Amino acid sequence: MKKPLVIFGSGDIAQLAHYYFSTDSNYEVVAFTVDANYIKESEFFGLPVVAFEDVAKNYPPDSYVFFVALSYSKLNAVRKEKFLAAKKMGYKLVSFISSRANVLNEGRVGENCFIFEDNTIQPFVTIGNNVTLWSGNHIGHHSVIHDHTFIASHVVVSGGVEIGEQCFVGVNATLRDHIKIGDRCVVGAGALLLTDAASEGVYIGTATERSKVPSTRLRGI
């Protein structure tokens, strides 16, 4: 019998969470919840949407588990806030780990993690609480990802890397081995980090510029 699950959120991330938990987990989504001021409809995907302020009354923590389905807004601060609030209410926060991910770290994954398909998590990796790993990342051996961090798709984290709390790492970024990324860092899409990154640092990769030659004049395509 599947365990009943309440999801915080009513946007794209919540829709994805509903899909993944419904098709690839031992949990059954029974309701959504958001702050009362943000309720626009009484239902989402045919399930009730209840005010977060009342969720424990309608879906008590001793009978239901919880998942916070939010993005990296405000450097993950909003997701962190709701994660801590749900824990304070007494909920057990569960993680989604895709059956199509290669997870070789003996289950060292915290609460409320969202780990999509095609991630490779090598042995001796530690993943904290409330971490999102979008699809297709490589997390190298002996690396540590601390709480409330969001890693987008196709990121290469080499061995022995430590990523601090509330970081954001964009698509196709590469982190060399044995470096430390401080708390609340932003590593942009395509960035290459070869040395330690200070807390609250912003590291942006160079965007490809448009060629002066228009596409109609190319001979090789």
Give DSSP secondary structure letters for 143-181.
Answer: -EE-TT-EE-TT-EE-TT-EE-TT-EE-TT-EE-TT-EE
CATH topology for the 3-89 domain: Rossmann fold (3.40.50)
96-199 has CATH 2.160.10.10 classification = yes
Interval 98-125 mean pLDDT: 98
CA–CA separation, 138 and 120 (whole Å): 5
User: ∠ at Cα 73 (70, 78), nearest 5°?
Assistant: 65
pLDDT tens by residue, 45-65: 999 999 999 999 999 999 999
Task: Supply the pLDDT for residue 219.
Answer: 81
Question: Which pTM does this prediction carry?
Answer: 0.95
Average pLDDT, the chain: 97
CA–CA separation, 178 and 196 (whole Å): 9
Q: Where in the sequence of the chain do the CATH 3.40.50.20 domains occur?
A: 3-89
Residue 220 has pLDDT above 90, yes or no: no
Task: Supply the pLDDT for residue 143.
Answer: 98
Contact, 13 vs 112, CB < 8 A? no
Q: Which amino acid is at 160?
A: G
Chain mean position to CA 196: 23
Between the CA of residue 78 and those of 54, 72, 83, 158, 209, what are the distances in Å?
A: 19, 8, 9, 28, 34
Q: Where in the sequence of the chain do the CATH 2.160.10.10 domains occur?
A: 96-199
